[in-house]
Amino acid sequence: MFKHAKYHLPKFEPPQIIGLYPRARLFSQLDNLSNKRVLWVSAPAGSGKTSLIASYLSEKNKNIIWYQIDVGDGDIASFFHHMALCIKNSSPKKRGMLPDFTSEYLAGLPAFSVNYFRELFKKIEPGSVLVLDNYQDAGANTSLHEVMQYATNEIPNNIQLV
């Protein structure tokens, strides 16, 4: 189920899924992977990856936290800032803010990333799915790739990252 966002940014909005053809075979394959902490969906552009994930998660009535990656997320400070807003939208009752990424953390990006994602995952309801849609749009030469390596190590067993 998609929750209504406090911050109405396109980055936090899943696509409209009305009228999509149900993809039973692919849904079955996703069911078999539902116990995995990380799920990577790869296919050519325009093949329906986003629609597949949105329709599947909606059908399963999961708590979905949708984050649309774009070129701006290549700036790691922007990524951390917008991710904090996204999590605040999805978990408004969870107290406390995620730490702000400032320039003094550049030298300690690994430690900051580990601590950031430990706190982030505490704020997400168990059983939720965090979708990072269009990850490739961040670009090839960005520290987001390094950050996500640390993030995936911090995902608890009761949350899935897609």
Mean pLDDT of the chain: 90
Q: pLDDT tens, 125-161?
A: 999 999 999 999 998 899 999 999 999 999 999 999 9
Task: Tell me the C-alpha distance between 88 and 80, whole Å.
Answer: 12
Residue 62 lies in a domain: yes
Q: Which of 82, 89, 78, 162 is nearest to 123 (CA)?
A: 89
Residue 64 lies in a domain: yes
Domain tally for the chain? 1
Q: For residue 88, give its domain range.
A: 10-14+24-161
Residue 101 lies in a domain: yes
- Give the side-chain half-sphere CA count within 13 A for 32: 5
Q: What is the mean pLDDT of residues 90-108?
A: 83
Q: What is the CATH number of the domain that holds 66?
A: 3.40.50
Residue 5 lies in a domain: no
- Give the side-chain half-sphere CA count within 13 A for 147: 26
Residue 19 lies in a domain: no
Residue 1 lies in a domain: no
pLDDT of residue 16: 83
In the predicted structure, residue 70 carries a pLDDT above the cut 70 = yes
Per the DSSP assignment, residues forming a β-bridge with 66 are 131
Q: What is the mean pLDDT of residues 82-93?
A: 86
